[in-house]
Every structure is written in C-alpha cells, then in structure tokens.
Structure 1
Amino acid sequence: MNKSIRWGKFYHEVGHILFHIGNQLMMPDSFRLYQEWKSNNFMYHFAVPTFMLRYANIPVDSDQAIQFIAEIFKVAPTFAKHCLNLYYQKNTHS
C-alpha cells in the first residue's frame, strides 16, 4: 500500500474518531453507511482543504489541475480528481 493510500485511510479513521461513537457492528446498516460517508467526506476535505484550494492557482485544464492537486497535496491523482470535483460542486452551488 503506497503512502498516499495509507494517509487517506488515516484521515478516514480520524473522521470516525472526531464524529462518531458506538460499535458499527451493533447499529443499523443505514446509520453505519452514513458514518462511512461522513468519514469519507472528512477524509477528502482534510487531505485537500477547501480554504487552501481557494487561494491556489489551479490550472484551467482538468488533467493539469488534477496533477497540480496531486503534487501539491501529495495525494493520488484519482483522489485529487474527486477533491477537485467536490470543490467545483461546492463553489458552483454556493
């Protein structure tokens, strides 16, 4: 497992520590899935903070933008692409 994947898993687990209590084995599937979604969402925003993207000179070309995010934040390109999509979704709907 490469370093960026390990960090992603770490950020995900930090999300659980910060926001969740209880044993997931003892809760309804819908609530467990909600906790997983919330920890994944935290993971993306913790690894690539929105406030930092606001001040970054993100290239207009999407492939270059993904590479830029991946290099600056030391994340995998697929992770960077998802973070960039979240960022653009949030900033076009605000």
Structure 2
Amino acid sequence: MEVGSQLIILLNESLSPSLQWQEFAHELAHILRHVGNQYILPKDFRMLQEWQASHFALYFCIPGFMLQNIELPSSKQEAILKVMDVFHVTPSFAAARLDQWVNHIFF
C-alpha cells in the first residue's frame, strides 16, 4: 500500500507468525523489485512477478549462507522440522527451500 511517499506492508493478523513472516518477505519483494500497479499488467507478466516474489521470499526467510551453517539431519522430514524451527517458517515453505537449496548444490 502506498500512503503519500511511504510504502506500507499490511499483514493479516489472523495468520500465524510463520505465515506473516513469509507474506512479509513476499510483499517486500514486490516493493524492492517491482513498480506500478500490478493489476493493470498482462496476466503472464503478473504471474512472473508473483513467481519472482515467491522465489525472493524463500531466499529472504531462509538465507543460503545461514542454511549451510546449520547441521541438518539426514532425514528429509527431520531436516524440514529443523528448518521450520530455526527460521520460523511453515512445513511447505521449509520443504520448498530445502529442495531449492539441494538442487543448487548438486546441479
């Protein structure tokens, strides 16, 4: 939301703290990377911006330099739980970031 010259991120108070954190990161990406009114853009471009914001949120909430410095269990489920605990994110978010991180390391 833009109020005068200030950009404001509004968060839904009914969401869990983890979801609020993830939503904050997603909306911050829009502020940092995108300009203008997203609703007047073509659908494909809007979808690209949403993908970019979601991708940014993964890195913002779970930075790679921090992820590489924690000892992760060998079990994927246990690793997801560890990431959830350390970074205060949801299970699906932790799993997505771990998959992304592993793919970056091995591919």
Shorter-normalised TM range:
over 0.9
Task: Say whether residues 1:91 and 2:105 are aligned partners.
Answer: yes
Partner residue in 2 for 1:35: 49
Aligned residues: 93
Instruction: Kindly state the Cα deviation for residue 39 of structure 1 after the two structures are TM-superposed.
Output: 0.2
The gaps in structure 1 that reach 5 residues or longer are none
Alpha-carbon distance between aligned partners in 2 of 1:17 and 1:25, rounded to the nearest angstrom: 15
For 2:66 and 2:17, how far apart are their aligned partners in 1? 22
TM-score normalised by the chain length of structure 2:
0.83
Q: Which residue of 2 aligns with 1:2?
A: 16
Letter in 1 for 2:74: V
In structure 2, the partner of 1:47 is: 61
In the alignment, what sits opposite 1:56? 70
Tell me the amino acid that sits aligned with residue 84 of structure 1. Answer: L
Higher RCO by CA contacts (8 Å cutoff, separation 6 or greater): 1
Residue ranges of structure 2 left out of the alignment (5+ in a row) = 1-14
The structure with more radius of gyration? 2
Distance 1:25 1:53 in 2: 35
Name the structure where helix makes up a greater proportion of residues: 1
Distance 1:52 1:45 in 2: 10
* Alignment partners' CA distance in 2, 1:29 and 1:91: 33
Ranges of 4+ aligned residues in structure 1 off by more than 4 Å: none
State the identity as a percent: 35
TM score, norm. by length of structure 1: 0.94
**Per-residue deviation, residues 20-67 of structure 1 (Å, max 9, x unmatched):** 011111111111110000000001110000111111111111111001
1:80 counterpart = 2:94: yes
